[in-house]
Amino acid sequence: MDIIANRDEDPKKKSKFVDKNNYFEIKNYSSILEQPFTLVSNGVKVFTYNFSEIPGFCIFLPISYNPLPPILKEVGVRIMNLKEFESLKAFQSIMWCDLFQTSYSDSDNQSYANYLIAPTCKKNISWLSVKAALGMKKDIKSSQKQSLDKLVYHIPPKRQKYYYVMKVNKNTKASDIACKISKKSLYSQEVPDTIQQEIIEKAEKMLKNASFVYPPFEYPLVLLRSVHVARKKELKHKKTYKPINLKIAPENLLETFYLTRKQTRNANKIVKALISIERYTYLIDFVALYNYHGDFNLIRDATTAPAYDNDKNYDPIENLGDSILKVISSLQLYFRHDGKNEGFLTDMRTSFVKNKVLCEINLNNELYFYMRCAKVRQKSFRPAYYTGLKRPSEVIVLNEKFSDGMLADEVESLIGAFYLSAGFAGAAGFISRIKVLPEEEWDKTIRFLDGMYRGMLGDKDMKDFKLNNFDDLIPRPEKFTLTSTSDYSLLETIINYKFKNQNLIEEAFTHGSLGLGYNYERLEFLGDAVVDTIVITNIFPLGKFTAERLTVFRHMLVNNVVLSRLSISLGLQNYLKAVKEIHEEIRRYFADFQWEEDLLDFGVYNSHPPKCLNDIFESLIGAVLIDSESLDLTCKIFTPFMKNLILHLAQNEERCDMNIRSKLSTFCQKKHTKCETKTRLDKGLVIAEVYVADDFICDATGNTSWLAKQIASQKAYLLLTSK
């Protein structure tokens, strides 16, 4: 038996589609809420939930809502007899008509969703309220009905200018109340349940014994003895109306008294809660389809655009997913293209992770079904079992338009959510499921993705870390040396890892200038992705940073100056095997640079260390990854070397000034000088150059024009203001 309201709507309304311009037509809830309640031998099986922040009401669902959204609290399963069930169904119509201030209608139910809302009293269903609402009589007639209608439904043209003072307490009696109802439903003012029936009987008796027309009131109300009516702005003209024996039409009487004042106030919050509950049903579908076992809120954030919710959206987690996708795709490409150089591998990785490709992945897997961008307007929302006046949005259909970037961001955000819930393997499973990467060498790649590394830093580290001197960030070596050794025992002691394959560590320090059949480029390609992952996974839990700020954080930590300094701190230059010219370049750099100054603002000063110093730090990480066959272990080995840098930057996030370009422009205007930023492309990267008064100040490199200009402006501002 199908225990659900009539639903003969056009089945096409259930479908969702996308056109060439990324326009979507998406229903507000999934088929989960279309399931019928289960009929059992002694009634109907219902799953009961309370609202977390809406006391006075509960909701009955036909299914067990799992995972449970934070707006609901599970009460349990109960068997409701058919009479009670039908009473609650009828109650929905009355309550929703009151909330939406519409008259009753016999129109069919216009919603597919299947849930029941019930008022509660002391954690139990308030059947007294339900029966009171259903006890309304609509067939009472009066010989003076026309006059009564005119009297009862008169509404002043500028009613909003007035307010009404009503006082009801536990000592109020039915005889203290004179009833007069307006077309706009007026709700209970804490009328005790014990006198509701007395009020009803009095009203019916008044109607039956009507013998004359009573003087009309200018303001139709539920009147008490006495009621003060005053203007909001002009409180001078107060009028007091004495009680009268008023004849009423009882059609709307119980709309006034079946809910308490607290319930009436909270009832308006239910609509917002129902929108969230219905939206969550799509995420339940997602959880079941993709076998997700993590934090439900992560999936909610990963599928929420900033336009829908400015606080909880996919922006922060998207950066995390981008980094995880980068490292997993790098590892697979390393195995798929044995012998290919870094340039080829980088181009291939870019082709996999660019927005256009991820957008197609989203469309192919219909992930956009789960994303929300446009908010559902509460005024147009019509919940289940609403049978009042029809509105255009009886079945909520959201017309969404998503850019390619938004669809790509959702894919990366979901990857980030799977990583946070199940580590690298969890993210890889989702990547494989939606076919972001090809299947070649996938089994070999998966072997490297064990463990649950999700960063090693937390709030306690943030609280405990204090910067005393620059050596706390990156330890200064006792002396700057440049030797040539093949004894890696000291290095293995420093990093606390013993290589099983010595050929890998040899490869990690072999420069391409030697022209051998191998060099560190391929391992550097891997290490670059691992460094990126270490930074993002550790900085992510330290604060609620915006996507833009995380992007700048990443650049300030993963750049040539910082990584070269880490390389020097570990003494990696002593293991580098390269032509004499490379070694001479390193010696010249050692002769000129200052340890503190270059590190002061994470490389914003004009320091240009030889790129090979950066490269060998990353290639060493890549070598450990391949030798250990564990991305988890590799991250744990090298996180301590970057730990203090990450904590210091997180504690001083003002270094990532999002308005730095505006500050630079204002500074130059005050000095009456012209500031100009020029950009150019070099090997796929954007180089931004800052000129002040036509003089070159500095430059910076970034993956995007915005990032390059941001970093270049930061450099220029610090250089100019420090003079």
Give the tens place of pLDDT for each residue, 464-479.
888 877 777 888 887 7
Higher pLDDT, 395 or 297: 297
Q: Quote the pLDDT of residue 475.
A: 84
Task: Summarize pLDDT for 233-258 with one digit per residue, the tens.
Answer: 433 444 433 333 333 333 333 334 56
Q: At what angle do helices 355-365 and 404-433 cross, to 10 degrees?
A: 70
Residues 451/631, Cβ–Cβ less than 8 Å:
yes
In the predicted structure, residue 627 carries a pLDDT above the cut 90 = yes
d(CA 409, CA 558): 22
Q: What is the largest CA-CA distance in the chain?
A: 117
Taking each helix axis as running N to C, give the angle between helix 315-336 and helix 404-433, from 0 to 180 degrees, rounded to the nearest 10.
50
DSSP, collapsed to helix, strand or coil, labels residue 18 as strand
- Which has the higher per-residue pLDDT, 338 or 205? 338
pLDDT of 35 above 90:
no
The mean per-residue pLDDT over the stretch 356-382 comes to 81
pLDDT digits (tens, 9 = 90+) for 355-365: 899 999 999 99
Average pLDDT for 373-383: 67
Q: Is 605 helix (H, G, I), strand (E, B) or coil?
A: coil
CA distance 259 to 301: 35
CB 119 within 8 A of CB 57: yes
pLDDT exceeds 50 at position 513: yes
Q: What is the pLDDT of residue 62?
A: 87
Whole-angstrom distance, CA of residue 396 vs CA of residue 274: 12
Query: Stretch 642-664: mean pLDDT, rounded?
Result: 78
Average pLDDT over the chain reads: 74
Q: What is the pLDDT of residue 673?
A: 86
- 711 vs 697: CA distance, rounded Å: 13
Let me know: does 281 contact 27? Beta carbons within 8 Å: no
Q: Do 643 and 457 touch, CB atoms closer than 8 A?
A: yes
pLDDT for residue 211 is more than 90: no
Q: Which residue has the higher pLDDT, 233 or 114?
A: 114
Tens of pLDDT, residues 305-331: 888 888 888 988 999 999 999 999 999
DSSP, residue by residue, 43-81: EEEEEEEEETT-TTEEEEESS--SSPPTTEEEEEEEEE-
Helices 631-651, 611-628: crossing angle, 10 deg rounding = 140
| CATH code for the part of the protein at 660-721 | 3.30.160.20
Q: What is the mean pLDDT of residues 522-549?
A: 90
| 9 burial type by CB count under 10 A (0-12 exposed, 13-18 middle, 19+ buried) | middle
Give 10's pLDDT tier (boundaries 50, 70, 90).
very low
Q: Give the distance from CA 510 to its chain's centroid.
A: 45
Domain 454-656 coded CATH 3.40.50.300? no
pLDDT at 616: 96
CA distances from 21 to 239, 363, 403, 625, 626 (A): 62, 12, 9, 43, 43
Start-end of CATH 3.30.160.20 domains in the chain: 660-721
Which pLDDT tens digit goes with each residue over 118-153?
A: 988 888 898 877 877 776 433 323 333 333 232 222
* Between 76 and 231, residue with greater pLDDT: 76
Lowest-pLDDT range of 414-418, 469-473, 514-518, 624-628: 469-473
> What is the Cα–Cα distance from 98 to 252, expressed in whole angstroms?
9
pLDDT band for 382, please (50, 70, 90 cuts). low
User: Quick one: pLDDT at residue 384?
Assistant: 65
Query: DSSP H helical segments within 509-579, as ranges?
Result: 521-539, 547-557, 560-569
- Give the Cα-Cα-Cα angle 75, 77, 78 (nearest 5 degrees): 110
Dihedral-angle region of residue 629 (phi above 0 means left; psi in -120 to 50 means alpha; beta otherwise): left
DSSP state of 383: -
Q: Shortest CA distance to 307 belongs to which of 299, 315, 298?
A: 315
**Which are the catalytic amino acids?**
528, 618
CA distance 111 to 615: 61
40 Cβ neighbours under 8 A, 6+ residues apart? 79
Least confident of 389-393, 445-449, 456-460, 576-580: 389-393
Asked whether the predicted pLDDT for residue 229 surpasses 70, the reply is no
CATH 1.10.1520.10 intervals, the chain: 454-656
- The residue-averaged pLDDT of 198-205 equals 53
Which range among 3-12, 480-489, 508-517 shows the weakest confidence by mean pLDDT? 3-12
Considering only 45-49, 398-402, 530-534, which range has the smallest mean pLDDT? 398-402
Radius of gyration of the chain (CA): 35
Average pLDDT over residues 661-666: 80
Percentage, residues of the chain above pLDDT 90 = 29
**Digit-coded pLDDT (tens) for 419-469:** 999 999 999 999 999 999 999 889 999 999 988 898 889 889 888 888 877
What DSSP state is assigned to residue 218?
S
Closest by CA to 679, choosing from 710, 705, 715, 658, is 705
- Quickly state the pLDDT bin for 269 (edges 50, 70, 90): confident
**Which H or E run contains 336?**
helix 315-336
Stretch 545-565: mean pLDDT, rounded? 82
